[in-house]
Amino acid sequence: MKRTSMTAALATTALVLVSSACSSGSSGESSDGPIKVGAINGVTGLFQTPEVPQAVKAVFDEVNAAGGVNGRKLELISIDDTMNPQRSTEAAIDLIRSKGVVALVGSSSAVDCGLNRATYQKNNVVSIPAVGVDAACFTSPNIAPVNPGPFTLLTAMLYYASETLGHDKVCMDYTVLPGSGDGVDKAVKEWSELTGKKLAHKEFAVGEGDPTKYLVADKAAGCQAVLYNGPVGPYMSQAKTQGMGGVDFIFGANSYTDANAKAIPAGMSVYAGTEWQPYTDETLPGNKRWADIVSKNKIQKTAFSQGAVMSADVFVQVLKGMKDPVNRSSVTKALKNMQPITYPMVGTPWVFGPGDVHNPVKGSRFVKAENGKWKVLPEGFVVPGQKS
Amino acid sequence: MVNSVIAGLTSGGVYALLGLCVVLTYRLAAVVNFAMAAVGAMGAFVMVSLTDAGLNVWLALPAGVLAGAVLSGLLGSVLVRWFGGHSQNTKAAVTVALYVAVMAVGVRFFGSTTTGAHRFPQPFDAPVFTMGSVVVPQSVLVSLAFAVVITAGVGLLLSRTRVGLQLQALSEQPSTAQVVGIPAPRLALGVWVAIGAITTLVVLLVAPRLGGDFSTLGKLINTALAVAMLGAFRSLPLTLVGGLVLGCLEGLSASVESVQSYQGVVPFLVILVALWWRSRHEVWDTAHSR
């Protein structure tokens, strides 16, 4: 009997200790110790952005080396969701409930926003993705990415094709992912309303396999410009074979990589829209800050790492301006009430702000492939409907 | 629409090649090999990784083919050693599991779809002639020629050589073949190694045209199986024609806007129609009773 009582007492004590430890760290309400910040990144799997958490951590390390935020260090907890929906939902719950993060900063997952938007809202936690991929990243109350996103970019790409390049017959060869159809339709509609033009030809089901059939249809429709968002090498190689040297091809930001520039055959006219200042020219406004930090930390220079540095920078700036103790609810409140931040790496100021929809950054800069490299074009940020 | 069908036809040789590899594995090793394209993709990516690292293409090519052959041989040895006496259904299920494993490893190592990080050599890219408004490149003719060579070569091997006879015996009755002195396990392993090498070559040939990412290449097994169905998993000439038919159907489906979004269903529909056509003379309730 005595032993049973002792065991029960010990178990109760342990339970109380564990629960008190959990409650102090898991709610994100702790106002001392390191400020825990979460991120869900695609590091392995189909959508790989390993440089993103590295760059966010590099910014946090820099802040910590300078004394932190009001004496508190920043701690990044990044989880690789491998583009696996189950892992992504588990990661969000783990970060919020077990790790006690105050916010998510620098996420770069292809599935995070759509799956976890409700979790973020329910737990009153905000996310500032470095790379917003799906439509839910831009239409959720608690998520505000630092990139324009694929749909705003699409409007800018169409606008560039018709207004800057002056083409009447603009076409699209696009892979529209499940759940993205409405976003694409809306982006095309917005362009039509601004310019009074309509697509001359569209293929919204460009899948895997030989692209020749799509290119032949583009030729038949007399397309002067074709927007495309799939793998570059095979498509451009077949476009060259089909004699489409006179057509302007415009790719999305996902194709703006050094390797793709090399994959474009000579004699083809290829542009790419970017979401931040083109990363291939480090002298552009805002790029020096990014280039310095990724070079110093030996991180791969990509557009995604630009988003990583920007998301970390704007978060730190808001944090440093807070008067309340830093915890989850105060961080959420500060971001929802913040003033816009002018960040020269993007076309328009970034702000989290109140509201149910967050797509603060607009506009795109364009680069052109020349001799296996991307050359930055001089127009500056192209914001549809806005004179530059 | 005619141009789209012609454009689709240019993919037909590629599809035929993939279908032929499936039929070959079935006829020679008595296994429906779901892991085939993924294994070929692995070999192809070993090669392209070596060329990306600066190795000469003529040194990287045999290394990639060897990698595909060795991996296929390993999978084959698993099937021969542990599942030799099992039914074809079990063996097919094992290859599905192996497909999942090889895909997971391949995507992990060679991942990402649009960065253009891996570039396959394109030795047959030059235009040859124009049909309608479709320019036909050398690669189409090379694919078709390769498919015809495999069809004719394997046909001759099976019908005119002793090894061919032994392979047929091995495929039809493995245990009986062993009893009469045919070295069944060794022969079966040889078939797996050869299929791995051929598939790697086929994937290397089609990769520049169909997309340079591991996932796309590994999933080509869907198309390959549909083409193999058209050849009833037996006839090499019919499989060759099946590849061309599937290419035309794909081109046709891409040209009709209302069905454009459902192009991916084409291989599945082909399988369904092929099954229905084959079973049209069967008596109800007597066939496929198991």
Interval B21-37 mean pLDDT? 88
Q: Which among B84, B63, B72 has a CA at the least distance from the CA of B25?
A: B72
Which 187-246 residues of chain B touch chain A by CB within 8 A? 208-213, 215-216, 219, 223
Max avg pLDDT among A4-18, A274-288, B167-181: A274-288
At A161 the pLDDT is 96
Interval A185-213 mean pLDDT? 89
Alpha-carbon distance of A307 to A118, in angstroms, equals 24
Q: Is the pLDDT of residue A25 over 60?
A: no
Virtual torsion, Cα B28, B29, B30, B32, nearest 10 deg: -100
Alpha-carbon distance of A6 to B267, in angstroms, equals 68
Confidence of residue B289 (pLDDT cuts 50, 70, 90): very low
From the list A46, A216, A240, the residue facing B134 with the nearest CB is A216
Where is pLDDT greater, at A55 or A182? A55
Structure-block tokens of residue A388: 């530059």
B3, A232: Cβ pair inside 8 Å? no
Within chain A, how many helices (H) and strands (E) appear? 12, 11
At A23 the pLDDT is 41
Confidence of residue B181 (pLDDT cuts 50, 70, 90): confident
Beta bridge partners of residue A225, listed in sequence order = A170, A248
Q: What are A121-151's pLDDT values in tens digits?
A: 999 999 999 999 888 999 999 999 999 998 9
Max avg pLDDT among A72-76, A149-153, B49-53, B81-85: A72-76
Distance from CA of A234 to the nearest CA of B (A): 5
> The pTM is what?
0.77
Q: What are B208-239's pLDDT values in tens digits?
A: 877 668 888 888 898 899 889 888 888 888 99
B216, A220: Cβ pair inside 8 Å? no
- B108 in contact with A, Cβ within 8 Å: yes
Max avg pLDDT among A16-30, A37-51, A52-66, B245-259: A52-66
Structure-block tokens of residue A48: 């790989």
E-assigned strand segments in chain A: 35-41, 74-80, 103-105, 127-128, 170-173, 201-203, 225-228, 248-251, 269-274, 365-370, 373-376
The 8-class DSSP code of residue A143 comes to: B
For chain A, give the percent of residues with pLDDT over 70.
91
| Across A132-141, B3-12, B194-203, B264-273, least confident range | B3-12
Where is pLDDT greater, at A145 or A347? A145
At B196 the pLDDT is 93
Alpha-carbon distance of B123 to B51, in angstroms, equals 14
Q: What are A269-308's pLDDT values in tens digits?
A: 999 999 999 998 999 999 999 999 999 999 988 889 999 9
Is residue B200 within 8 Å of residue B67, measured between CB atoms? yes
- A216 in contact with B, Cβ within 8 Å: yes
Residue that has been written with the tokens 């549909």 in this structure: B226
Structure-block tokens of residue A52: 């993103």
Q: Is the pLDDT of residue A248 over 90?
A: yes
Give φ, ψ of A331 to 5 degrees: -65, -45
At B111 the pLDDT is 66
- A267 in contact with B, Cβ within 8 Å: no
At A147 the pLDDT is 94
Interhelix angle A232-241/B184-210, nearest 10 degrees: 70
Structure-block tokens of residue A191: 């362009």
Interval B23-45 mean pLDDT? 90
Confidence of residue A340 (pLDDT cuts 50, 70, 90): very high
Mean pLDDT of chain A: 89
Interval B75-97 mean pLDDT? 86
Q: Which residues in chain A have Cβ-Cβ distances shorter than 8 Å to B11?
A: 209-210, 212-213
- A48 in contact with B, Cβ within 8 Å: yes
Where is pLDDT greater, at A326 or A45? A326
Where is pLDDT greater, at B191 or A189? A189
Sheet holding A74-80, edge to edge: A74-80, A35-41, A103-105, A127-128
Q: Is the pLDDT of residue A359 over 80?
A: yes
A47, B112: Cβ pair inside 8 Å? yes
At A342 the pLDDT is 95
Mean pLDDT of chain B: 83
Q: Is the pLDDT of residue B60 over 90?
A: yes
